[in-house]
Structure 1
Amino acid sequence: MAVQPEGAQWLTWSLEQVASTLGRRFPGQHVWVVRASRMYLHKFSCYRNFVESNMFGAPEYSRDFGAFPHLRSLLSHGMKQANLPNPLPPQGGADGIPSGFSLTLVGFSKGCVVLNQMAYELDRARADPQVAPFVDCVSAMYWLDGGHPGGSETWVTDRQVLRDLAASGVSIHAHVTPYEVRDPMRAWVGREHRHFIRTLEELGARPSQKLHFEDEPPSIENHFRVIQEF
């Protein structure tokens, strides 16, 4: 970022700085920050290793893509590289899950497409005896000001997918800013966010939600600041 004219101004929000911020937000826990598998033009994150996407990172969700097994493989490798005791095996059923292992998943901006893809996979993943024990370790999911360059599906609106998410028992959190949900040029983002929350509530879930910086003009700086404030 330091050598890129467009990136240098955002060094406060580099991968390393975000890891430190999340470390303060979740003290006493291991924090893993997953970088996008591809960056188009040095600024468009693309998580094609988790969800089928175009070059700009706009997703095409699928019920059987494999985001959960991929996350498990990444965590397994990371834990081994860090020489952590009792690392997570790259695959396997309940016998391979370390005692007390728990996951809190946080997606920010474009990274929220990964959480959306996981929501689409929940039903089939929980029916797979090799994947279900890992999925059951997810205790909470945080959507932080989700956004991507596509024209829809910034937030999950499929009722059946939301039914699966509501039934999972995962603690659901949605933190947004006017930068995403009050942009008149992308009005669908705010509509989808409201639909996401309302439908989950109708289905019996109790999602927590907060609009940060409500009384301030929309800005990309506040979009990033939600990482500190959630």
Structure 2
Amino acid sequence: MALQPDAAPWQSWSLERVALTLGQRFPGCHIWIIRASLMYLHKFSCYQNFVESNLFGAPEHSPDYGAVRHLRALLGHSMQRAGLPNPLPLLSGTSTPGPLPAGFSLTIVGFSKGCVVLNQIVYELAGARADPELRLFLDSVSDMYWLDGGHPGGSETWVTDKCALGELASSGVAIHAHVTPYEVCDPMRAWVGREHRHFIKTLEDLGACLSQKLHFEDEPASIENHFRVIQEF
């Protein structure tokens, strides 16, 4: 970031510093920061390893892309590389998977463009639950946090498909949506706010375990407050 003029002013929000912030937010937990697989022009995050995307990171969601499987494999391999005791076992592809480590629980947090990964997971829930290993992994997810999601596409910033949201609501996962005016009150991208409201309303109607908050609502929309939601959620 220090070498890139567009990124240098935002070094206080580097991956390393965000890891420290999340470590304070979730004390006693292992924190894994997953970097985008591609940084186009050094500034456009693209999570192609989780969801089909263009170079600028706008996603094309599909119910069978493989984000859940990729996250499961990535965490298992990372835990082994880090030498943690009782890591996630590698995927075996069997119909009778072995148990996960005792007490294993996962909280998934997406910020800004990274929320496309959470959205893709939501689209995959129905299919992933049909796989015994992935179902066991999904059952370990306790919370999912959407932090001021946004991307350069013209739609699907938030999941609005009722069937997909029905799977999320019935999963029992605690859903948290934290936003700022930077994303949901931008008149040039009015669809973001509409989709966010639709996401919240649909999940409420479905009886999901949901919490939501609009941060900095009395302050002008700014990219600084967009980043600050990482500290405030």
Which of residues 181, 203, 207 in structure 1 aligns to 2:210?
A: 207
Deviations 1:116-147 (A, max 9, x none): 00000001111111211011111100000000
Is the counterpart of residue 193 in structure 1 residue 215 in structure 2? Answer: no
CA contact 2:172–2:209 (8 Å) conserved in 1:
no
SS of the residue aligned with 2:59? coil
CA contact 1:105–1:142 (8 Å) conserved in 2:
yes
Q: Which whole-Å CA distance do the structure 1 matches of 2:89 and 2:99 have between them? A: 6
Q: Which whole-Å CA distance do the structure 2 matches of 1:55 and 1:24 have between them? A: 33
Is the counterpart of residue 147 in structure 1 residue 176 in structure 2? Answer: no
CA contact 1:94–1:134 (8 Å) conserved in 2:
no
Deviations 1:146-192 (A, max 9, x none): 00000000000001000110000000000000000000000000000
CA contact 2:173–2:209 (8 Å) conserved in 1:
no
Report the counterpart of residue 231 of structure 2 in structure 1: 228
Report the counterpart of residue 14 of structure 2 in structure 1: 14
Q: Which whole-Å CA distance do the structure 1 matches of 2:132 and 2:88 have between them? A: 16
Percent identity of paired positions between Structure 1 and Structure 2: 73
Is the counterpart of residue 127 in structure 1 residue 130 in structure 2? Answer: yes
Matched residue type, 1:56: F
- Post-superposition offset of 1:94: 4.2
SS of the residue aligned with 1:142? strand
Q: Which whole-Å CA distance do the structure 2 matches of 1:7 and 1:107 have between them? A: 20
Give 1:10-49 correspondences, 5 Å limit: 10-49=10-49
SS of the residue aligned with 1:131? helix
Give 1:97-176 correspondences, 5 Å limit: 97-176=100-179
Q: Which whole-Å CA distance do the structure 2 matches of 1:222 and 1:60 have between them? A: 28
Report the counterpart of residue 88 of structure 2 in structure 1: 88
Deviates more, 1:127-136 or 1:55-64: 127-136
Which of residues 175, 181, 186 in structure 2 aligns to 1:178?
A: 181
Q: Which whole-Å CA distance do the structure 1 matches of 2:4 and 2:61 have between them? A: 31
Report the counterpart of residue 218 of structure 1 in structure 2: 221
Q: Which whole-Å CA distance do the structure 1 matches of 2:168 and 2:184 have between them? A: 22
- Stretches of structure 1 lacking an aligned partner (at least 5 in a row): none
SS of the residue aligned with 2:194? helix
Tell me the C-alpha RMSD between the 2 structures: 0.9
Structure-1-length-normalised TM-score = 0.98
Q: Which runs of 4+ in 1 moved over 2 A?
A: none
Structure-2-length-normalised TM-score = 0.97
Is the counterpart of residue 75 in structure 1 residue 75 in structure 2? Answer: yes
CA contact 1:142–1:175 (8 Å) conserved in 2:
yes
- Post-superposition offset of 1:85: 0.5
Q: How many residues align?
A: 230
- Post-superposition offset of 1:206: 3.1
CA contact 1:144–1:176 (8 Å) conserved in 2:
yes
